[in-house]
Structure 1
């Protein structure tokens, strides 16, 4: 993975970790092991093929944070957000206020909860090989991008840092977290996806698939929706009108697929990836912005 830039120094907070696109902080005087809260800062970095690319996408972190928070307000399930002004929690620094949230500390489940309302990407590739996705047998004759009669829950195992997540069967998720927790993760994921898909459809957008992450609040034992939710980076959205018209562009998604396609055509995946042209950067930013406007306006 490409080396990450130095993290920001933020008043009241201490940096403890950086991923490809997020930076984590704890209140000063705390450590990652004992802090009850985390400051999660969404950067403007963009990654593809296990590399962080240059340059960043201007405004990306703020766009994704705004969309995620918009969805959290509409999901009837406890989430990880800590309200502003909570006693003992430092305020979000002004310089990252539009792209950061304070999250309560959770015991995260090692299962990534993927829901598919359409078959494409890695799910379609698995289907063409086996006739199934994560152990779920599907009818013959499904084409790339076809909508499924009902959404399917296809979990993945969240691999250790530096390794790739692994698609698993529901039965394997039971082995990982227990029968009760596995059922709760599946049922919550399907319920959230179904409601979100209906809302998106009202705005002319198809929610094709998404992934959720959940944790347990150690103080209450309740299941909590965590991380980002239903953003362009965690979900695949299509334009409903373009999809209905058919043709090769019907599966154009509101995300960084523009970046992936350009890299695939201009880089052999060896060594350091090339710098993204300004046109690709701007078109990608416009796709993020368009989805936010379509859903929230």
Structure 2
């Protein structure tokens, strides 16, 4: 929780010049008074935000061919229904970043939707603006992360309306919402080692589980390894150790 909160804080502050966001503070002393009694529990892992009216969609941007995108391309030669050139491999860099929206399901799995379907949900002008902002955010984050030796293969953004204006909400460029690959070991044609949730996904794929609630309990070793990966990507991206955040 601390890693996800603090890495979102880092990116919210970095990208505020691209689009306004819901971030207010992570300083519990600035939260409403009733929360002060729980500061020991909340400190570092909680965030006060502005309340927005969320759009019921997820704005996914892909810079590389991975996961479900690679599976679709391998079977159909397409990504999100759009034709791609032949000869791409697992983890290939795409010629340009692709906007591939999905629904945001309250229960069950999100469903991929075309840009045209997106316009029927939130309108054409809003759809175009979310696409523009999402790609701009991805490019900014990907360029900054690459300077620290990290490839951001793909990511997910969510947006809402506040006083009639589009703002970024939820989380941004976290290991829960993004694929982070070490650039030093990047090699197309195979799955990449990653510092994100993919390790947990891969473990769950080994289980006899129908992917419905509740999920099976996780062994301590898996939890510990995920935690280590999250702490590592936090330090690489922000230049700070998670221990320094906890101590402060």
Q: Which TM-score band (shorter chain)?
A: 0.7 to 0.9
| 1:100–1:176 distance in 2 versus 1, CA, 3 Å | same
Q: Distance in 2 between matches of 1:280 and 1:91?
A: 32
63, 66, 91: which is aligned to 1:117?
A: 63
CA contact (8 A) 1:134 1:170 kept: no
- The CA distance in 1 between the partners of 2:223 and 2:185, in whole Å, is 23
Higher relative contact order (CA 8 A, sep 6+): 2
Match of 1:293 in 2: 235
Normalising by the residue count of structure 2, what TM-score does the alignment of the two structures yield?
0.85
Q: Distance between the aligned counterparts of 2:215 and 2:166, measured in 1?
A: 40
- 1:280 and 2:226 equivalent? no
Q: Following TM superposition, by how much is the alpha carbon of 1:228 offset from its aligned partner in structure 2, in angstroms?
A: 0.7
Q: How many residues align?
A: 231
Matched, 1:72 2:12: yes
Structure 1 residues 88 and 260: alpha-carbon distance in aligned structure 2, compared to 1, 3 A threshold? closer
Residues in 2 aligned to 1:229 and 1:149: alpha-carbon distance in whole angstroms:
23
Task: State which of 163, 175, 179 in structure 2 corresponds to 1:232.
Answer: 175
Looking at structure 2, the residues matched to 89 and 130 of structure 1 have their Cα atoms a distance apart, in angstroms, of: 56
Equivalent positions of 1:195-274 (< 5 A) are: 195-217=140-162, 219=163, 221-244=164-187, 248=190, 251-265=192-206, 267-269=207-209
Q: Deviations over 1:71-119 (max 9, x none)?
A: 1110021111234677977556411121111122111111200000001
Instruction: Deviation per CA, 1:54-82: give whole Å up to 9, x if none.
Output: xxxxxxx0011111100111002111123
Post-superposition offset of 1:285: 0.9
Partner of 1:40: none
SS of structure 2 residue aligned to 1:237:
strand
Q: Please identify which structure carries the higher helix content.
A: 2
Q: Displacement, 1:136?
A: 2.1
Identify which of 134, 146, 162 aligns with 2:107. Answer: 162
- RMSD between superposed Cα atoms in Å: 2.2
The answer (yes or no) to whether the contact 2:209–2:216 under 8 Å persists in 1 is no
- What is the distance in 1 between the residues matched to 2:100 and 2:233? 25
Residues 2-37 of structure 1: per-residue CA shift (max 9 Å, x gap) = xxxxxxxxxxxxxxxxxxxxxxxxxxxxxxxxxxxx
Please give the per-residue CA displacement for 1:235-269, whole angstroms capped at 9, x wherever unaligned.
0010000114x685x6121123333333333x211
Secondary structure at 1:82's aligned position in 2? Answer: strand
Q: Contact conserved, 1:116 with 1:154, CA < 8 A, in 2?
A: yes
Q: Contact 2:91 / 2:189 at 8 angstroms: preserved in 1?
A: no
Looking at structure 2, the residues matched to 89 and 135 of structure 1 have their Cα atoms a distance apart, in angstroms, of 50
Kindly provide the CA deviation profile for residues 184-215 of structure 1, in whole angstroms up to 9, marking residues without a partner as x: 10000000000100000000000000000000
Distance in structure 1 (CA, Å) of the matches to 2:65 and 2:31: 46
Give the aligned partner of residue 104 of structure 1. 50
Residue 226 of structure 1: CA displacement?
0.2
